[in-house]
């Protein structure tokens, strides 16, 4: 992925995963851990499992885990961009908002790559 694509996706996922609302955090944790455990238990106990509930829970849990893992992978990519920016002598532009720092790092790396012959 290009640096600006990494920065954009990272900011999107950070807004989804690191929500200030405790209710949204509990909902995410429920769809990642609690509901799959309940579904497995009900699948083992009931002779006729509810296929729609199983499909919904598996799909929602898969999406939640995929976003969680992608967020943490992108977090390391942004950290790598930060270190590359520091090696290049710091960012060429500045931002007072931490929401825009990944874009600052992406700009610095992209500008340095364009200056190279």
pLDDT in tens, 48-83: 878 898 899 999 999 999 999 999 999 999 999 999
How far apart (Å, rounded) are the C-alpha atoms in residues 109 and 115? 10
Angle, CA of 117, 113 and 12, to the nearest 5°? 165
Residue 4's CB is within 10 A of a number of other CB atoms, namely: 15
- Mean pLDDT, the chain, rounded, equals 92
pTM: 0.86
Q: pLDDT band at residue 115, thresholds of 50, 70 and 90?
A: confident
């Amino acid at each position: 992925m290009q640096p600006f694509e990494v920065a954009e996706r990272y900011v999107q996922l950070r807004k989804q995963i690191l929500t200030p609302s405790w209710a949204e955090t509990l909902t995410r944790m429920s769809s990642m851990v609690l509901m799959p455990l309940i579904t497995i238990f009900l699948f083992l106990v009931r002779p006729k499992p509810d296929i729609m509930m199983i499909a919904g829970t598996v799909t929602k849990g898969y999406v939640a885990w995929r976003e969680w893992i992608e967020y943490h992978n992108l977090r390391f990519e942004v950290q790598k961009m930060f270190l590359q920016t520091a090696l290049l002598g710091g960012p060429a532009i500045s931002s007072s908002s931490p929401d825009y720092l990944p874009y600052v790092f992406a700009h610095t790396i992209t500008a340095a790559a364009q200056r190279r012959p």
